[in-house]
Amino acid sequence: MKPNMLLFSCVALLLVTACGKKEKAFDATGTFEATEVTVSAKSTGELLAFNVTEGQEIDQGVVVGNIDAYQLKLQRQQLESTKDQLKANKKQLNATRGATNSKQLDLEKQVASIRQQIANAQRERQRYSELVNDGAVPRKQLDDINYQIKVLEKQLAATQDQIRSNNASLKEQSQGITAQMEGIDAQQVGIEVQKAQLDDQIANTDIKAPITGSVLEKYVEAGEFVNVGKPLFKMADTQNMFIRAYVTSAQLKDIKVGQAVKVFADFGDKQKKAYDGTITWISSRSEFTPKTIVTDDERADLVYAVKIAVKNDGFIKIGMYGEVKF
């Protein structure tokens, strides 16, 4: 072989070898995705207001619409009225119990007073007995005192009988009042539970954004009648996105959850933008390579899906093609 031909062959071989060892610009490819949430109606009724437009950015917790809650509010007012009536009934029962106790107390005071009068009369009788024996006063006065004592003793016995009778009646009445008050307490607890349920239902008539993100689709308009569970709109967390890429089994040994990687968003015409990403999930099951996915080893039939979280600066869109460099 001529020297020139030999030199040309060596140069060509070196070029082929160098090209074969050229490092790829990426290790895996995939598409960008976002956490999507479909917001459904939690109440049934007319959609009075619905301030949602596709592409709108909404913060978490913002009220974007209202479902008619008029009937629910009327039911709550009725429960409040019933609660007030129960409070009045309970107050009346307490008053009845207090009046009965007061009457019984008055009788006990009468017993004490009669006993005191009997004691006074007995002392007078003793004094008059001595005077009668001495002839200082007529016996009639002593007889009058004895008669007075007998009358007081009969009054005492009658009052004590009344107290005993009232005690039995009072015990029965008190048990009845206690039972009624326990029933009222139970009704009040039930009303509080019903109020809590209505409050929850009324709160559910407010349509709120469950996450901070962008509205993808809108399914209804204000004025429509909606039922519980009817989809109202779909939104996605477009600030915290991720790319779903695929790796071969040979690449698994080089990656792990929590690993920092470099992600490139492909805008077409060879325009790319780099982002910092973090591997958040690696599938534990292999699957056949999707037709639209390019892997490091194009001969690989089975691949593993991985998710890589990316903080979006507003340029990444759902479904956009991307590349990953580990």
Q: d(Cα 94, Cα 88) in Å, to the nearest integer?
A: 10
Tally Cβ neighbours within 10 Å of residue 35: 13
The string of pLDDT tens digits covering residues 34-75 is 999 999 999 999 999 999 999 999 999 999 999 999 999 999
The pLDDT of 106-131, averaged and rounded, is 83
Q: What is the mean pLDDT of the chain?
A: 85
Domain architecture of the chain: domains with CATH: 25-68+213-325 (2.40.30.170), 70-203 (1.10.287)
Across 131-135, 149-153, 275-279, 321-325, least confident range: 131-135
The string of pLDDT tens digits covering residues 187-232 is 999 999 999 999 999 999 999 999 999 999 999 999 999 999 999 9
What pLDDT, on a 0 to 100 scale, did the predictor assign at position 298? 57
pLDDT band, residue 19 (cuts 50/70/90):
very low
pLDDT higher than threshold 60 for residue 1: no
Tally Cβ neighbours within 10 Å of residue 243: 27
What pLDDT, on a 0 to 100 scale, did the predictor assign at position 15? 41
Q: pTM for the whole thing?
A: 0.64
Q: d(Cα 73, Cα 268) in Å, to the nearest integer?
A: 56
Across 109-113, 247-251, 321-325, least confident range: 109-113
> Which amino acid is present at 309?
A
- DSSP helix/strand/coil, 60: coil
The string of pLDDT tens digits covering residues 251-287 is 999 899 999 999 999 988 888 999 999 999 999 988 8
